[in-house]
Amino acid sequence: MSDAPARDREVVAGAIFREGRLLLAQRTSPPALAGRWELPGGKVEEFESPQNALARELLEELAVEVRCGARIGVDVPLSPGLVLRAYRAELVSGEPVALDHAQLTWVDAEELLSMDLVDNDRAWIPELLAELSAL
Ligand code: CDP
CA of 23 to the centre of ligand 1 (A): 16
Which atom of ligand 1 lies nearest, measured to the CA of 38?
23
Identity at 107, one-letter amino acid code: V
Nearest to 53, CA basis, from 42, 61, 62: 42
pLDDT digits (tens, 9 = 90+) for 36-47: 999 999 999 999
Rounded CA-CA distance 85/121 in Å is 9
Rounded CA-CA distance 121/7 in Å is 22
Bigger pLDDT: 75 or 135? 75
Nearest to 99, CA basis, from 20, 42, 18: 42
Q: How many helices (DSSP H) and strands (DSSP E) are in the chain?
A: 3, 8
ipTM of this complex: 0.95
pLDDT at 1 over 70: no
Ligand 1 site residues, Cβ closer than 6 angstroms: 11, 13, 33, 38-39, 41-43, 78, 84, 118, 120-121
CA 64 to chain centre: 14
CA 84 to chain centre: 9
